[in-house]
Amino acid sequence: MVTWFFIGLVITILLTPGPTNTLLASSGIQVGIRKSLRLIPAEAFGYLISITAWGFLIGKVSVHLPLLPTILKLFSASYIIYLAIKLWRTADAEVSFNQPTIRARELFLATLLNPKALLFASAIFPTIAWTKLDYYLSHMSLFLVLIVPIAFFWTFIGSILASNKIRWLNQSNLQKTASLVLMSFSIPLSYSAILSF
């Protein structure tokens, strides 16, 4: 039921820098990995609510507008390309991780409003997930499982950036790598959307 393509896209998009990951890295810098782990459930609930709401809305509307999923998939592929270019261009810009101590409520709200949720609901999760409960449960369960190591990774990155122990592990290299990976995923996503016409 769940494809490797789905898993690859979820991992890639969850790994890309954004509001949620910036907060996780900030927490890793400020309070370390162990204390930051309490934020992971807040991220999971934020994505669960947001993706589910977007997905079921898309599922209801696409009954009357059958081209909507294809249009959203093309829009999402364009957004991924835009995100890849933005990540590459801003890779050497200084990002401030000096934020007030991050609480679960702030992380939940940042994730709830994260534009990645619409991307997941419209292009990454299969359309059938919004009409068949077993597909929804299998895809959402795996998605929530994938959040845990990736959130841990971002708090770990924060703690590494704070210590400056590994020179090559820096924001610039992370963003450029994420940019290349995103670009590589946007091509098959665009292709599958074009084939749907």
| Band of pLDDT at residue 102, cut at 50, 70 and 90 | confident
Cβ neighbours for 150, distance < 8 A, ≥ 6 positions apart = 11, 14, 15
Q: What's the pLDDT score for residue 164?
A: 66
Report yes or no on 14 lying in a domain: no
Report yes or no on 13 lying in a domain: no
User: From CA 9, how far away is CA 5, in angstroms rounded?
Assistant: 6
Cβ neighbours for 93, distance < 8 A, ≥ 6 positions apart = none
Angle subtended at Cα 85 by Cα 81 and Cα 88, rounded to the nearest 5 degrees: 140
Report yes or no on 164 lying in a domain: yes
Report yes or no on 15 lying in a domain: no
Return the C-alpha torsion angle 5, 45, 66, 12, nearest 10. Answer: -20
Q: What's the pLDDT score for residue 26?
A: 81
Report the Cα–Cα distance between both ends of the chain, in Å, rounded: 24
* Identity of the residue numbered 15: L
Residue 186 has pLDDT above 60, yes or no: yes
Listed residue (103, 115, 114, 116) closest to 42, CA to CA: 103
| Band of pLDDT at residue 98, cut at 50, 70 and 90 | low
Residue 127 has pLDDT above 90, yes or no: no
Greatest alpha-carbon pair distance for the chain in Å reads 55
Report yes or no on 11 lying in a domain: no
Kindly state the tokens that stand for 104: 């679960």
Work out how many domains the chain is built from and give that number. 1
Report yes or no on 130 lying in a domain: yes
- Tens-digit pLDDT profile for residues 34-80: 999 999 999 999 999 999 999 999 888 888 888 877 787 787 778 77
Q: Which domain holds residue 80?
A: 25-193
Report yes or no on 18 lying in a domain: no
- Tens-digit pLDDT profile for residues 82-97: 877 877 887 776 655 5
Report yes or no on 178 lying in a domain: yes
Residue 193 has pLDDT above 80, yes or no: no
Q: Tell me what the pLDDT averaged over the chain comes to.
A: 83
Best mean pLDDT range from 20-24, 73-77, 107-111: 107-111
| Band of pLDDT at residue 135, cut at 50, 70 and 90 | very high
When comparing pLDDT for 79 and 111, which is higher?
Answer: 111
3-state secondary structure of 36: helix
